[in-house]
Amino acid sequence: MQVVICRDYAEMSSRAAHFISERVMRKPHMVLGLATGETPVGMYAELSRLHREEGLDFSGLTTFNLDEYCGLAHDDPRSYHTFMADNLLSHVNLNPLLVHIPDGAALDADGECARYEALIEAAGGIDLQVLGIGMNGHIGFNEPGTDRNSTTHVVQLARQTVEVNQAKGGYDTLPGSAMSMGIGTIMKAREIVLLASGDGKADIIKNALEGPVTPKTPASILQTHPSVVCFLDAAAASRLSKR
Ligand code: PGA
C-alpha cells in the first residue's frame, strides 16, 4: 500500500485527480469505479477542470458507482444519481450509456444488485476504483461485519452512517438501506485509490492502515490488496505512526 500525505484537502484532491487522469490517458477505455461523499468533491472539480482546460477525454470510459440509497428516485436531491450529475457528469464528456449507478428505485432490489454485479463482470471488471472511508471504516456502504467475499448487495445502514450523512447533507431523512458493491467486488478492482481528509478521519485511517485486518474495520482489508494508493491530507494522516 502506498500512502501519499498531502498538505491539505486541495492538494489531496489535485493529486488524486492527476493520478486518475494519467490512468485515463494511458487507457482511454478503462473501467473506472467512482465514489460519492464530501471527500471526492474537490477531486471531481479538478477532473472537470482538466476536461475543460486541458481536454482530458472521458468519452471512452465506462464508470460504475459504488452505491446508491434504496427507494430514491434518480432526481431526488439526496440520491447519488443527483450527486454524480452535479459533481461530474454535467461537467465532462462521459458517455451516459457507459455510466452506471445502482438503481435505488428498482422494485426488485436484490435483482438489481445481481444485475449490477453482472454488468461489472461483463465490462471486464474495474481497472481503478476510487474509495472514501466512513467514520466506522466502511468502504462503499459495507458496514462493519460485512463478509469479505460479498458482491453487490442490499445493506442495512448503520445508524451512525445515516446520522452523519443526514447532517452533512442537511437532510431531515435518508433511507436506512442502500445497494452497495460488496467487499469482494471492490477487492477485485485491479487498482484502488483511497481518499481521506480531515481530523475526523485520523483514528479510522490509523485503524484501517495500521491496525489488524478485520471485518470490524472493513477498510482494513485493503492492506491485503496488491495495488492501493491512499491520498490523505495531513490531518487524516496525523495519527499514523509508521511514516
Ligand atoms: P465522506 O464519506 O467522503 O462524506 O466523508 C465517506 C464515506 O462515508 O464513505
| 134 Cα to the center of ligand 1, angstroms | 5
The pLDDT tens digits for 199-231 are: 999 999 999 999 999 999 999 999 999 999 999
3-state secondary structure 219-230: HHHHHHCCCEEE
End-to-end CA distance of the chain: 13
Predicted pLDDT of residue 110: 98
Nearest-atom number in ligand 1 for the CA of 195 is 3
The pLDDT tens digits for 165-188 are: 999 999 999 999 999 999 999 999
Tell me how far apart the alpha carbons of residues 7 and 178 are, in angstroms, rounded to a whole number.
34
143 as an active site residue: the answer is yes
Distance of CA 233 to the CA centre of its chain: 17
Say whether pLDDT at 243 is over 90.
no
When pLDDT is averaged across residues 51-66 and rounded to a whole number, the result is 98
Of 18, 74, 76, 136, which is the active-site residue?
Answer: 136
The pLDDT tens digits for 122-170 are: 999 999 999 999 999 999 999 999 999 999 999 999 999 999 999 999 9
When pLDDT is averaged across residues 82-108 and rounded to a whole number, the result is 98
Which residues share a beta bridge with 139?
Answer: 142
Which residues share a beta bridge with 64?
Answer: 33, 100
Angle 126-128-132 from CA coordinates, rounded to 5°: 110
Say whether pLDDT at 242 is over 70.
no
Query: pLDDT-based confidence at 191, cuts 50/70/90?
Result: very high
Residue 230 neighbours by CB under 8 Å, 6+ apart: 1, 2, 3, 4, 193, 194, 195, 196, 205, 209
Predicted pLDDT of residue 165: 96
Whether the Cβ atoms of residue 182 and residue 153 lie closer than 8 Å to each other: yes
Instruction: Look over the chain and give the mean of its residue pLDDT values, rounded to a whole number.
Output: 97
Of 46, 51, 67, 81, which is the active-site residue?
Answer: 67
Residue 154 neighbours by CB under 8 Å, 6+ apart: 70, 109, 110, 113, 177, 178, 179
Predicted pLDDT of residue 172: 96
Predicted pLDDT of residue 203: 98
Predicted pLDDT of residue 168: 95
Residue type, 111: G
What would the grid cell of residue 211 be? 491496525
* Best of 36, 41, 205 for a ligand 1 pocket test (most atoms within 8 Å of beta carbon): 36
- Which residue's C-alpha comes closest to atom 7 of ligand 1? 134
Tell me how far apart the alpha carbons of residues 137 and 40 are, in angstroms, rounded to a whole number.
16
Tell me how far apart the alpha carbons of residues 188 and 205 are, in angstroms, rounded to a whole number.
21
* Best of 9, 34, 38 for a ligand 1 pocket test (most atoms within 8 Å of beta carbon): 38
- What counts of helices (H) and strands (E) characterise the chain? 7, 10
Angle between helices 9-26 and 41-54 (to 10 degrees): 50
Predicted pLDDT of residue 171: 97
When pLDDT is averaged across residues 185-193 and rounded to a whole number, the result is 98
